[in-house]
Structure 1
Amino acid sequence: MNAEQREEVLSWLQTKDCWELGELEYKLAFEYNVVYESKQSYYDLFDAASISWKKTTKLNPKADENAVAVKKKRLKHCWQLTGSQSKQEN
């Protein structure tokens, strides 16, 4: 990909806040006939466009207090089982 094409891709990437890697792979393959062997090359493009490739979800599931409470309740039961099993083994 030449410098002009790279700038086009970077401008395109900046049109949205949330991307999937597949969208970038598809665009490069079909519009520019570019397929990178390493995913890092795609991540580098995200980085150059000031997009963190690690931001793959719109909402942090830990922020849902109800979901966290349900999980804690479920795990508390598991912890109690584990604790009682270790006492029986001694």
Structure 2
Amino acid sequence: MDEMVRYHFFFTGRVQSVGFRYKASYLAKEYGLTGFVKNEYDGSVSLEIQGLDEKITELVECLKRDRVIRIYSMSKEKIDLVEGEKDFKIKF
């Protein structure tokens, strides 16, 4: 059985100006995940996401298969759950 987890991801590659944040937000809502996605000043994208581990894996796999997004590297760190978080946001 899957457990609730929260991860902080950093993605580099062609991840800005290609709809990455919007696709991540759409998928997070479809999979019932919470957290946020944000463009970083160095051209990377950070994603903090919480929910069932299996659903988070599915979201990342969908991003990797996208025809426009090109992920060159990805880091993943397990972090503490955020109690009471109810939605997924795009941060600007």
Give me the TM-score of the superposition, normalised by structure 1.
0.34
* Structure of greater Rg: 1
Query: Larger strand proportion, structure 1 or 2?
Result: 2
Query: What TM-score does the superposition give when structure 2 sets the normalisation length?
Result: 0.34
Q: Larger relative contact order (C-alpha < 8 A, sep ≥ 6)?
A: 2
